[in-house]
Amino acid sequence: MSSSSAHKKDATTAAERARSLDVAAILQGDRHAFEELVRVESPRLFRVILRIIHDEDEAQSIMQETFLQAYQRLDTFRGESKLTTWLYAIGINLARAALRKQRRYQTLEEGDIEGLQPQFSKGMYAQKPEAWNPHKITEEADRRRLVHEAINKLPEDYRMVILLRDIEELSTDEAAEILDISNGAARVRLHRARQALRGLLSNHFE
Amino acid sequence: MGTFSNLRRHIMLTCQDVNAFIIDYLEDTLEPGLRERFETHLKRCSICNTYFEQYRKTIALAKETGDTSPKPPAEIANATLDFLRQHLNPDDASSRNA
């Protein structure tokens, strides 16, 4: 089985188990129900946090703190989103706070992102997009490394929306909820992030 | 208002319009008439078509990086449960369930 199909199968199994979570019992503080939440969501939450923080030990520590805070703050969950969306918002906020302390990665500035957006003149592209050379994007390992590096160059706000929407495939509503922005703002940010990423990849693939 | 709406329905979209509608098109939130005009523009404009295909490829490439995420440690859930048992006040659950 390829890593891709294994990943999809794991995701499907996790999704099935997530649907069977007893949210009412979790919200009542039932420890067994909460333990099932930990078992079901730990692998994915760890992966998301690791993608932000890039350090396995710290990712595990942040994930544990996420579940601890979630359990202690269950009475603040207002039921306006899915419980898992609320859980991910806690984890991602903790991971972003830790990332700001690290300041390990040099990322692009907002002006760079603007420069990667297409420009228009009288409603038409000011510069015609060059075709990507298929021979330059066929080496899988190189391709994944380049894309990974390009994503890591994006400013944090843009990287987060790509992570949640395109990599974790959450809905735009869920991504907006986690990032604490409106659906409209999430869509604008996502579009700018994808266009910036496309621009960065064009440097390699044209 | 109705006349303006009818007029808009028949005006060709510019490349800039098409670019602005990409995300709505991919999320299937464009109203049918606008979706048809979007697709018509893409069929007729090779520049927008190239840009749109690269935009879609960018999403696919980002998604692909998720397939190679490191596997979480095997005992990650149990380690988290141990952590929670050590840090949660034993009275916490009983007070909630009371």
* B63 contact residues in A (CB cutoff 8 A): 166-167, 169
Verify whether the Cβ–Cβ distance A71 to B92 is below 8 Å.
yes
**Tell me, what's the pLDDT at B3?**
55
For residue A36, the chain B residue with the least C-alpha distance is: B77
**Tell me, what's the pLDDT at A134?**
78
* B88 contact residues in A (CB cutoff 8 A): 68, 71-72
The answer to whether residue B98 is domain-embedded is: no
Do A8 and B76 touch, CB atoms closer than 8 A? no
Q: In residues, how long is chain A?
A: 206
Q: Is the pLDDT of residue A105 over 70?
A: no
Residues A3-102, CATH architecture: Orthogonal Bundle (1.10)
Cβ–Cβ contact B46 with A under 8 A: no
The answer to whether residue B39 is domain-embedded is: yes
More reliable by pLDDT, A3 or A181: A181
**Tell me, what's the pLDDT at A39?**
93
The answer to whether residue B46 is domain-embedded is: yes
Alpha carbon of B71: minimum distance to chain A alpha carbons (Å): 8
Is A110-205 a CATH 1.10.10.10 domain? Answer: yes
**Tell me, what's the pLDDT at A137?**
73
**Tell me, what's the pLDDT at A8?**
52
What is the share, in percent, of chain A residues with pLDDT greater than 70?
A: 89
* B12 contact residues in A (CB cutoff 8 A): none
What is the share, in percent, of chain A residues with pLDDT greater than 90?
A: 68
Do A98 and A62 touch, CB atoms closer than 8 A? yes
Q: How deeply is A82 buried, as exposed, middle or buried, from its count of CB atoms within 10 A (0-12, 13-18, 19+)?
A: middle
Give B98's pLDDT tier (boundaries 50, 70, 90): very low
Alpha carbon distances (Å) from A140 to A89, A112, A145, A146, A198:
32, 27, 9, 10, 17
Distance of CA A5 to the CA centre of its chain: 20
How is residue A127 written in tokens?
């510069």
Question: Residue A124's beta-bridge partner residues?
Answer: A121
Q: Is the pLDDT of residue A20 over 80?
A: no
Sequence ranges of the domains in chain A: 3-102, 110-205
* A3 contact residues in B (CB cutoff 8 A): 67-68
The mean pLDDT of B7-15, rounded to a whole number, is 74
**Tell me, what's the pLDDT at A59?**
95
Cβ–Cβ contact B76 with A under 8 A: yes
Give residue B65's domain range: 2-86
Least confident of A122-126, B8-12, B16-20, B46-50: B8-12
**Tell me, what's the pLDDT at A133?**
86
Q: Which own/partner pairs from A140-146 qualify as long-range (CB within 8 Å, at least 24 positions apart)?
A: A143/B61, A143/B64, A144/B64, A144/B65, A144/B68, A146/A201, A146/A204
Verify whether the Cβ–Cβ distance A131 to B50 is below 8 Å.
yes
Give A62's pLDDT tier (boundaries 50, 70, 90): very high
Alpha carbon of A161: minimum distance to chain B alpha carbons (Å): 11
Q: Dihedrals φ, ψ of A124, to 5°? A: -115, 155
Verify whether the Cβ–Cβ distance B92 to A120 is below 8 Å.
no
The answer to whether residue B45 is domain-embedded is: yes
* B44 contact residues in A (CB cutoff 8 A): none
The answer to whether residue B14 is domain-embedded is: yes
Count up the domains in chain B and report the number. Answer: 1
Give B95's pLDDT tier (boundaries 50, 70, 90): very low
> How much is the ipTM here?
0.84
**Tell me, what's the pLDDT at B44?**
94
**Tell me, what's the pLDDT at A2?**
47
Mean residue pLDDT across chain A: 88
Q: How far, in Å, CA of B27 to CA of A185, rounded?
A: 15
**Tell me, what's the pLDDT at A17?**
59
For residue B73, the chain A residue with the least C-alpha distance is: A43
**Tell me, what's the pLDDT at A25?**
87
